[in-house]
Chains A and B, each alone.
Chain A
Amino acid sequence: MKMKTEIYRSSIISNLLKETSPEESERIEKRMILAAKIDKAIKAKRWKKQDLLKALNKDNPSIITKWLSGTHNFTTDTLFDLERVLGVNLINLEEKPQKISTSYHFEVKQRVLLKLTSNDFGNNIYANLGRVDGLEQAYQSSFASSQENQLVARA
């Protein structure tokens, strides 16, 4: 039996979305990114919530759930503490230069024979160019016809 998917449309949700300004949306997105970054750092350290609480000298486990929900408005001090214990950068205060991991240095040589240089042409810049018979004939005939014209004029 095939189940038909029903699309649920709620006017409440669409009204809520309409009420959210672009600035608020951006803020929510950044909070989500921050929460994801913290969560990733906890997992990278293979810590549990209790380990983080211990490192921060806190005792309320619900605070971490709140931090990771992506809705919490962190104070800078909390973020600095999290940076310290998790060993990650959450607030970018300065542009840290990227560390060079590997570098190479080498020299290669390439001998190049240039096909034509100005020296190849000598004094006559057209000397090395191929002669085009058609062009030469056309030039001669044009010269001849101009002579003819002159003769006509004289007559």
Chain B
Amino acid sequence: MTKKDRVIMDKKVSKSLSFQLKAIDLLSIGLNPPSKPIGPEVTFAFNFDIEHRLNLENNIIVVICSIEILEESERISIGNLSTRFTYELKDLDDFIDGETKKVSFPDDFIFNLNTISLSTVRGIMYSNFKGTFLHNAYLPIIDTKGLKPNK
């Protein structure tokens, strides 16, 4: 890496991005009670899908989190939940390449976006599944830095 490249990279990192949460929508929720009662010791598996959708015209990024909850031993879906988070960004144009029109956000921003969304989903799950057989199926802490996007 040349000195010039390093300077360009530093400039990219130092760009600030202001954003705010505009809306939280619960898109769907479902319970599928297992045929046998859940035992005293259970392992819940959470199948997680996160989608980032961009709306450049309105400076909006939508994060859709969909979770399917399975009982590990049976591998049967016992619940699901889908939520949509709408974030409004300021100065989005700074992150659009003038020629290719591709948007590239700093890693820290993506990390924050995923962390905020996942934490909020945890709360939504808890409040919606409270008192049901999924009462104890609370989402474990996830290090979103380790997440790699699908290709």
Interface residues, chain A, with chain B CB atoms under 8 Å away: 44, 88-89, 98-114, 117-120
Per-residue CB contact flags for chain B residues 28-51 toward chain A (1 = under 8 Å, else 0) read: 000000000111111111111111
Total A-B Cβ pairs within 8 A: 90
Q: Which of A107, A112, A117, A119 is the one whose CB lies under 8 Å from B48?
A: A107
The reply to whether A107 and B46 contact each other, CB–CB distance below 8 Å, is yes
Q: Which residue in chain B gives the minimum CB-CB distance to A97? A: B53
> What are 27 contact pairs spanning A and B, CB under 8 A?
A44-B93, A100-B52, A101-B53, A101-B54, A101-B61, A103-B52, A103-B150, A104-B49, A104-B50, A105-B47, A105-B50, A106-B48, A106-B142, A106-B147, A107-B45, A107-B46, A107-B48, A108-B48, A109-B44, A109-B46, A110-B44, A110-B139, A111-B42, A112-B42, A114-B39, A118-B37, A120-B40
Known contacts A103-B150, A109-B45, A109-B72; decide if A114 and B136 are in contact (CB<8 Å). yes
Interface of A, secondary structure class, is: strand
The reply to whether A108 and B43 contact each other, CB–CB distance below 8 Å, is no
Q: Which of B72, B137, B150 is the one whose CB lies under 8 Å from A104?
A: B150
Q: Which residue in chain B gives the minimum CB-CB distance to A120? A: B40
Interface residues on B, range: 35 or more
Given contact pairs A103-B150, A107-B46, enumerate 18 new A-B contacts (beta carbons under 8 Å): A98-B54, A101-B52, A101-B53, A101-B103, A102-B51, A103-B49, A105-B47, A105-B150, A107-B48, A108-B142, A109-B46, A110-B44, A111-B41, A111-B43, A112-B44, A114-B42, A114-B136, A118-B37
Known contacts A89-B57, A117-B39, A117-B40; decide if A108 and B50 are in contact (CB<8 Å). no
The reply to whether A98 and B39 contact each other, CB–CB distance below 8 Å, is no
Alpha-carbon distance between A118 and B40 when the two chains are bound, in angstroms: 9
Alpha-carbon distance between A20 and B72 when the two chains are bound, in angstroms: 66
Alpha-carbon distance between A108 and B46 when the two chains are bound, in angstroms: 5
The reply to whether B110 and A102 contact each other, CB–CB distance below 8 Å, is yes
